[in-house]
Amino acid sequence: MKILHTSDWHIGRTLYGRRRYPEFEAFLHWLAELIEREAIDVLLVAGDVFDTSTPSNRAQELYYRFLCRVAASPCRHVVVVAGNHDSPSFLNAPRQLLRALDIHVVGTIGDHPGDEVVVLNGRDGAPELIVCAVPYLRDRDIRAAEAGESLEDKDRKLIDGIRGHYAEVAAVAEDRRRQAGGDIPIVAMGHLFTAGGRTLEGDGVRDLYVGSLAHLSAALFPSAFDYLALGHLHVPQEVGGSPCRRYSGSPLPMGFGEAGQQKSLCLVRAAGCHLAVELVPVPCFQRLERLRGAWAEIAAGLDRLAATAESIWVEIVYDGDEIISDLRRRLEEEVAGTAIEILRVRNSRVIDRALSRSDDEESLDDLQVDEVFERCLAQHAVPASQWPELLQSYREIVAALAAADPRAE
Helix spans in 255-360 (H): 295-306, 327-335, 348-351
pLDDT digits (tens, 9 = 90+) for 57-114: 999 999 999 999 999 999 999 999 999 999 999 999 999 999 999 999 999 998 899 9
Q: State how far the Cα of 179 lies from the Cα of 175, in Å rounded to an integer.
A: 6
Q: Mean per-residue pLDDT for 337-359?
A: 72
Alpha-carbon distance values, 350 to 47, 124, 354 (Å): 39, 67, 8
Prediction pTM value: 0.82
Radius of gyration of the chain (CA): 23
Domains, the chain, in order of start with CATH, read: 2-281 (3.60.21.10), 288-408 (3.30.160.720)
Q: Among the listed ranges 39-43, 229-233, 237-241, 283-287, which one has the minimum average pLDDT value?
A: 237-241
Q: Among the listed ranges 47-51, 92-96, 177-181, 302-306, which one has the minimum average pLDDT value?
A: 177-181
The whole-angstrom distance between residue 402's C-alpha and the CA centroid of its chain comes to: 16
Q: State how far the Cα of 173 lies from the Cα of 170, in Å rounded to an integer.
A: 5
Among 92, 23, 37, CA closest to 70: 37
Q: How does residue 408 score in pLDDT terms, banded at 50, 70 and 90? A: very low
State the pairing for strand pair 242-247/227-231: parallel
